[in-house]
A and B are shown apart, each in its own frame.
Chain A
């Protein structure tokens, strides 16, 4: 119950980011649906974003001048925009694959296998 009365720090945000990142990696590795793999990528990018925002916050550490300040916010914004672009292209590829092969199983995309 220490967490209810003590202020949180960067470490707690890093723990949340690590859990989101690991969930995304496991999701990418285990899902056979191509859209499930895409959701894993979103989770990984979001875990990284949590870390960027935590390092950019002045409220979470003893010495506020050692935070990276607004750079963290700006990098997080770029990550969000690039995630949107990546999702759009990956979804278009998935739909194209579905139209041509009538499946979204990533294990069936093995035409280039030697």
Chain B
């Protein structure tokens, strides 16, 4: 590691170090998901990538979203996917080759997406980082880190927001008094009913069907099939 050649050496910003660590793990394993052809390895790399993304959420101060990412996404959705892989990964379906033309086309699409998104990310000055220039300071003076606001747990405020009371915006004088105070009660209800419908639908779709077969098949064959 090379520190900059200044008379006062900048201290290492551990927030940035951990951001670098988690983002490298997330991006590297996301690319590994793309480039491996083995479906079981893809599932494992996806677990690592999404787990590292949960670390990024914690670093951004979103403790509740990060833990929900670990609980629901990594612990629930991906276990579901791994079960699907286990039920279908046999014989020729473990590694399925993609033709070269498809790789070239999708590399073109992905490259153009990145070429649009990456410059856009650095367009806005406010998005660069949490430093401010002291008013009246000359340009060659280094920007000093802003004193960050106190981090506090977000679970209670998120819960109140889901119930329709935005307690996090009560003392915010900059916003219009009504409208922006609206909570998320209606989307919460919609998502609840949606989850119920999805649960019933998934159970209906994935149920084991009784094969309509002629009577003369043997019992052992039926036991194997079902």
Contact = CB atoms under 8 A, between A and B. Distances in A.
A63 interface: yes
A109 interface: no
Place the interface of chain A in its size category: 35 or more
Most buried by B among A3, A60, A65, A96: A60
A70 to B, nearest CB: 5
B126 interface: yes
A20 to B, nearest CB: 5
Interface in B63-103: 64-65, 68-69, 72-73, 76-78, 80-81, 83-85, 87-88, 93, 96-98, 102-103
B51 to A, nearest CB: 11
B134 interface: no
Interface residues of B, number: 103
Judged by DSSP, the binding face of A is: helix
Question: Which of A7, A38, A93: most chain B Cβ within 10 A?
Answer: A7
B106 A20 contact: no
A24 B126 CA distance: 28
Contacts of B1: 1, 4
Contacts of A5: 3-4, 10-13, 16
A26 B111 CA distance: 10
Interface string A81-92: 111110111011
Interface string B114-158: 100110111011111111100000000000011011010010011
B93 A4 contact: no
Contacts of B84: 35, 38, 91, 94-95
Given A18-B114, A93-B205, A73 B65 contact: yes
Given A30-B103, A39-B33, A62-B146, A14 B117 contact: yes
Interface string A18-31: 11111111110111
A11 B27 contact: no
A26 B1 CA distance: 34
Contact of A26 (B11, B46, B109, B205): B109
A10 B166 CA distance: 24
Nearest to B46: A39
A27 B162 CA distance: 34
Interface in A45-64: 46, 49-50, 53-54, 56-64
